Amino acid sequence: MTVSSLETLLPAGSILDEKYRTERVLGQGGMGIVVLAHHLGLDEKVAIKLLNPGALSSPGAETRFLQEARIAAKLRSPYAVRILDVGRDRERGLPYIVMEYLEGHNLGEPPAPMPISEAVDSIVETCAALAEAHRLGIVHRDIKPQNLFCMQNDSGDAQIKLLDFGISKSENSLSQTSTSHVLGTPSYMSPEQLRTTKSVDARSDIWSIGVTLHALLAGSPPWMGETSAVIAAKILRDAPPTLRDSLTGAPEPLERIILRCLEKDPSARYDDVGALAEQLAQFGGPRSQRAIGILRSRQSLAGDSRNARNSAEVPKPSSAGAFAPTELNLATPLPATAAPPVSTLPSAGTIVPAKTPLPDEATRTASAWGEASNPVAAAEPLALRAKWPVLAAVVAFAAIALYVVLRPPTPGVEPKLALAEAAPVVSPLSAVVLSASPSVSAAPTAAPADSGSRAKPVPSPAAPSKAAPDASAPSAAPSSAPSAVPTAKGSDPWNERL
């Protein structure tokens, strides 16, 4: 069934899937048609893309058609068309995609070359849309002027909307095209895409960006031919013509940027469309600067989200409920050139502050071996072991000090009395020493007035005499000093021992 027969099958005023009323045709191609319709429930204008029923016989055509809706719906860039709905008309069996309605024209319609500033603005805005698609693992594979739609935004300024993700490739899913089935527009396809559609990546879109910018400035793509085979052979074999061959007075730095995009070796092109947009913005106007600002902010947000996901990653528990050590790949030795691994726990003697988190690697390692999930709690036993030598030294010092205070007195050394006992009392031991000394007078020592509990005066021992002692006289002195000294009541225990 042709596109004209599709218009016959779905004329203006038809109700599609009981929700949309068609009005007129906006565009058409070999695979389908885009019509303006009215959303009956929301009272809004929408654009509906319908797949030609004749294309349903092509292998994977309907799958690629619906894949376009799923891929484009993930994009939130203001420079990509918004997908509102997707479905299949139950009455006619036609798959459809509902998109936002755009008023304007695609860049493939103007026949004359565009001014440098306007063309660069359009390409930088396209790069901003592609940057988000590439971050999601989506390669467009069909960048060309016809898929860049120029509209007016709310401020009244021109703005690009990237269309047609119908043959795009998602890295998270298998490609719906076979190796021998080539989809795209040959004049804008990269050499690797001409060889096979399965091995292309984001650098293939960078090639197409370079061809599109050349076409917008020069009025035609770099390689032209009568057939697709001739064009493909030129792309694979011939060097690209310079921009100044077609556009006199073109800036040489701009020409070098385009030529770098058209390097046949993908590794020699720009690493990503963000870097390409940064280089091109110097040749654009306010639109380019606004697009660069949006691109940078979204890259920053994407980087923060990625870091948050990485920091939240933990080893998955095994079926037994414990973490499997094999997930850490501990048996695999590190290469000789690799950086030294981060220590999983602090060394002995290191005190870990309560609020200082350990590295993420340490947290995962501790959890994998069944240790405390809190990295600080896992390190506390090491800190306690580090304190044991200090505690042992303190205990030993205390024991030595206690021994010095409480040790028994050494014989022959007079201990010091307490002040309360030494001041009013004459020690019995002192009395014995004084009485035994020849230089001390024999006069008796006077006792205090109140001697109820004190020792009595001790008489001086008799002096030795050569004459025979009188038998009738009593013994002059006791045989031993201790026995002659009465022990005072309540005397000092240290003196009792002596």
Helix pair 116-135, 273-280: axis angle to 10 deg: 160
Ordered DSSP codes for 349-408: TPPPPTT-PPPHHHHHHHHHTT--SSHHHHHHHHHHHHHHHHHHHHHHHHHHHHHHHHPP
Residue type for position 37: A
Rounded distance, CA 419 to CA 351, Å?
Answer: 50
* Cβ proximity of 246 and 219 under 8 Å: yes
Three state DSSP letters for 23-62: EEEEEECCCEEEEEEEECCCCEEEEEEEECHHHHHCCCHH
Closest C-alpha among 195, 354, 201 to residue 266: 201
Rounded distance, CA 150 to CA 160, Å?
Answer: 5
| 201 among known catalytic residues | no
Ordered DSSP codes for 283-330: GS-HHHHHHHHHHHHHHHHHHHHHHHHHHT--PPB-TTSSBPGGGGTT
* Cβ proximity of 189 and 93 under 8 Å: no
Helix pair 360-368, 375-406: axis angle to 10 deg: 80
Burial of residue 253 (number of CB atoms within 10 Å: 0-12, 13-18, 19+): exposed
Rounded distance, CA 265 to CA 54, Å?
Answer: 38
Catalytic residue, from 89, 142, 164, 205: name it. 142
Closest C-alpha among 245, 266, 242, 237 to residue 256: 242
DSSP state of 452: S
| Residues noted as catalytic | 142
